[in-house]
Structure 1
Amino acid sequence: MPRARKGNALRKGGQRRGGGARSSTQADSGSSEDEAASEARSTTSDCPSLLSTTAEDGLGGEAVDEQSQQESLEEKLRDCVDCLTDKSAKTRQGALESLRLALTSRLLPDFLLERSLTLADALEKCLKKGKGEEQALAAAVLGLLCVQLGPGPKGEELFHSLQPLLMSVLTDSTASPAARLHPSFVFQQCASALGLGCYVAATDVQDLVSCLACLEGVFSWSYGTSTAAVVPASLHGLLCAALQAWALLLTICPSTHISHILDRQLPRLPQLLSSDSVNLRIAAGEAIALLFELARDLEEDFVYEDIEALCGALRTLATDSNKYRAKNDRRRQRSIFRAVLHFVEGGECEEETIRFGLEVLCIDSWARHRIYTAFKDVLGSGMHYHLQNNDLLRDIFGLGPVLVLDAAALKACKISRFEKHLYNAAAFKARTKARSRARDKRADVL
């Protein structure tokens, strides 16, 4: 499948519906570091750490020689690549973590192009011979490499070299829990890497179909039970990752295949809405909304036979107030399922605005929502940086060429720490006053 057709299909799918029932603006926070990065393990190995090198420097203030900083980073990365073949598992694991941090926060296409074969061989060995965390990190780095290399020949070669291995690991996930060779979090990373790699680098429709079938076989494993709630909790993360990767690939799936997928999966996916895992319930709800969106693209007056039962299940989740669920889980679930229910009943997709730098990205369809979330999950706090500078993401979301801004423009759009403190203090004061007026006054009466 040519890349140009993918980009056009995505842009077309993303601009289908401009109006939404509700509009929410997501500020350019960038405040929360990637969870895995914040919990990076200290290691006594010889592999250099990139935590300080990959941290973003201020746009103003202390001037840092960008060229020397890039050279220093690449020198440390070369050492990390060498450490991937070290005999010590701890050293290899530290090297993979450092590579993951660097690839999320910087663009390094030239450096990676020169070492794509070396990295592919090293990652294959880590996936085959490593254990636990090392395998999960290797799969995560593979997904990031696909994002960095893009849809060119090198990215395609990297994906084709490791696609069979990822699929074999996921095929093992259908075995009994006692017979599985890898921990559940390894399966999750492999499912995400397979979906993202296929989305970015696969050019053959047959590759897309085989990846869809593999991922579908993983989350469809739960259909054999009387209810999804009895699926072991250890497999919830795997089922969620496989379902999300499968939904990502649906956004580039040819229309000739969509109709078969609708007939096969739309009547069965509601089973996952009864899962004990809030993440799996949400992933199933978003996948159902995406299937309805694709179905209406194929047939404008599409009608689902069992719509009443489906809307009843969605309405229950949209108004769930069970106290045994965590408050944040209830709030997130209700918000998402209200949007899913509104869309399934015939409404428009709710619009979300993402602000990064001086630009704005509009998420106005379930296809764009799934694509954005997939890249955000792998890039973490580096998502805004890649939206600004990565040609692949800018092409996918139709953002045009990278904006070239001079130092004065960059400094003008950056808020100083003192101004940010004043803004937060004023917002806190206004919020406290607003809440005070709404508080219960019965204490004063008594």
Structure 2
Amino acid sequence: MPRTKKKKSKGGQHGNMQPFSDEDASIETLSHCSSYSDTASVAEEGGEASEDAALEDFQYKLKGFIDSTVDKSAKTRQGALDGLKTAMATRILYEFISERRMTITDSIERCLKKGKGEEQRAAASLACLLCIQLGSGIESEEVFKTLKLIFKNILADGSANIQARQAVATSLGLCTLVAEDDILDVHATMECFENLFTRSYARMDGTCPLISPQASQLHTNALLSWALLLTICTANQLKDVLRKHLPKLPRLLESDDVNMRIAAGETIALLFELARDMDAEFEFDDWDELCDKLNALATDCNKHRAKTDKRKQRSVFRDVLRAVEESDFQPETIRFGTERMIIDSWVRKRTYDAFREFVGSGMNYHLQANEFIRDVFELGPPMLVDSATMKAMKISRFERHLHNSAAFKARTKARSKFRDKRVDVGEF
């Protein structure tokens, strides 16, 4: 996550409040992790009372941020949004947020409509973190229904602030994954992303369109969100994508932007994985030509490219080439607390990277304690939860979680069964 400013903002009742800094975030996360093993000793030393006081102070600060999101000062609103973002990225705040869901949603909507640039960017990211906190269920669905049209309008508006459009391109993808309850609407959102990243396709003669670096980043973000939504598409939708886009996606490998080339390569690898999940005998007409392009990028020695770009590109495209040629994926182990999770597919990698984009250094904590994220990665109920989170787990919250979890699992099951290898999906 971007480093938040530490200067005091002016204006408003809570204008003297500062956003959480990276140092604050690390202290909060550290305190959670240490409390797993030290809860007993803390209680013995009377630390429970001080912990209650700290929690009360923390919530008071959050209430101040929520109030400040409607301040007249843009700087104060910006600081409040950043403060809420960092808090949601580093703490489990379900009960607190659930009680104030509509207020926070209204603030996000107002900042998206009336704010400029950085304020819109922060509001878009906060919307995504709000959905991550609420999980997949009626609460996040209502948040998303309020904001979805605003997101799409900003994304499609060529006169809107480019930074806001970049942020919305990323947030809309993950919000759709978490909170969209209609698979047809998922497809409609994917078309919004297609309208952007296809503008970066190289022309048939091999020349690339002239695109500014900022526009290229917008197209890259749109492509990555589109790829994320591929992971929940039905078989019929995937067949359409394979027919329409797989022959054209290699044109993005010609881009001058290294981030676009890498995003395109990873998306191609993801599509091959999904296609082979449906049909182990899947074949691509231009397979030899594609492999030649991927091999060239995996061994790129062009002097006009930066060394760091070439090193990063070669590493990624070695993996992409192996995926296309051999259906192979290099697994990665993520360790958090006493647990570990293996990233063993392009689907899981794209999903993990999407969540990490928003929670940043708090990802390991969310993998331990966020029930929704644990559902997504099939990790089961939290094994260890800090005392503050335990106190927040009231019966009412537990019942809502069961409903949200059931809704998420039912939705995932309904979508996944279309991609089961045993399902006859016909010819591509």
Corresponding residue for 2:324? 344
From 230, 245, 248, the equivalent of 1:268 is 248
Is 1:252 matched up with 2:232? yes
Shift of 1:224: 7.5
Tell me if the contact between 1:43 and 1:90 (Cα under 8 Å) persists in the aligned partners. no
Is 1:181 matched up with 2:166? no
Tell me if the contact between 1:47 and 1:83 (Cα under 8 Å) persists in the aligned partners. no
The answer to which of 65-74 and 351-360 deviates more is 65-74
Deviation digits for residues 135-182 of structure 1, max 9, x if unmatched? 00000101111100111211000011100000111111xx4xxxx221
Please give the alpha-carbon distance, in whole angstroms, between the structure 1 residues aligned to 2:273 and 2:378.
20
From 223, 226, 231, the equivalent of 2:211 is 231
From 324, 344, 348, the equivalent of 1:368 is 348
Is 1:291 matched up with 2:282? no
Shift of 1:217: 1.3
Tell me if the contact between 1:229 and 1:276 (Cα under 8 Å) persists in the aligned partners. no
Corresponding residue for 2:8? 43
Please give the alpha-carbon distance, in whole angstroms, between the structure 2 residues aligned to 1:271 and 1:406.
49
Q: How do 1:373-412 residues align onto structure 2 when only pairs under 5 Å count?
A: 373-404=353-384
Is 1:136 matched up with 2:115? no
Please give the alpha-carbon distance, in whole angstroms, between the structure 1 residues aligned to 2:336 and 2:269.
27
Corresponding residue for 1:442? none
Tell me if the contact between 1:92 and 1:134 (Cα under 8 Å) persists in the aligned partners. yes
Tell me if the contact between 1:47 and 1:80 (Cα under 8 Å) persists in the aligned partners. no
The answer to which of 327-336 and 136-145 deviates more is 327-336
Is 1:119 matched up with 2:93? no
Please give the alpha-carbon distance, in whole angstroms, between the structure 2 residues aligned to 1:224 and 1:351.
32
Shift of 1:325: 2.3
Please give the alpha-carbon distance, in whole angstroms, between the structure 2 residues aligned to 1:289 and 1:198.
22
The answer to which of 206-215 and 143-152 deviates more is 206-215
Please give the alpha-carbon distance, in whole angstroms, between the structure 2 residues aligned to 1:100 and 1:323.
41
Q: How do 1:98-177 residues align onto structure 2 when only pairs under 5 Å count?
A: 98-172=83-157, 175=158
Corresponding residue for 1:93? 78
Is 1:216 matched up with 2:194? yes
Please give the alpha-carbon distance, in whole angstroms, between the structure 2 residues aligned to 1:368 and 1:67.
38
Is 1:77 matched up with 2:62? yes
Please give the alpha-carbon distance, in whole angstroms, between the structure 1 residues aligned to 2:280 and 2:127.
39
Q: Percent identity?
A: 44
Question: Per chain length, whose mean CA-contact separation is higher, i.e. which structure has more relative contact order (CA < 8 Å, sep 6+)?
Answer: 1
Tell me how large the CA RMSD over aligned residues is.
Answer: 1.9
SS in 2 for 1:181: coil
Which runs of no fewer than 5 residues in structure 2 stay unpaired?
388-428
Tell me if the contact between 2:332 and 2:344 (Cα under 8 Å) persists in the aligned partners. yes
Corresponding residue for 1:242? 222
Letter paired with 1:74: Q
TM-score for both structures, normalised by structure 1 = 0.78
Corresponding residue for 1:313? 293
Tell me if the contact between 1:140 and 1:193 (Cα under 8 Å) persists in the aligned partners. yes
From 297, 306, 329, the equivalent of 1:326 is 306
**Aligned length, in residue pairs:** 365
Shift of 1:328: 2.2
Please give the alpha-carbon distance, in whole angstroms, between the structure 2 residues aligned to 1:316 and 1:67.
59
Change (3 A) 1:296 1:334: same
Tell me if the contact between 1:376 and 1:383 (Cα under 8 Å) persists in the aligned partners. yes
Shift of 1:244: 0.6
Shift of 1:229: 5.8
Tell me if the contact between 2:193 and 2:226 (Cα under 8 Å) persists in the aligned partners. yes
SS in 2 for 1:345: helix
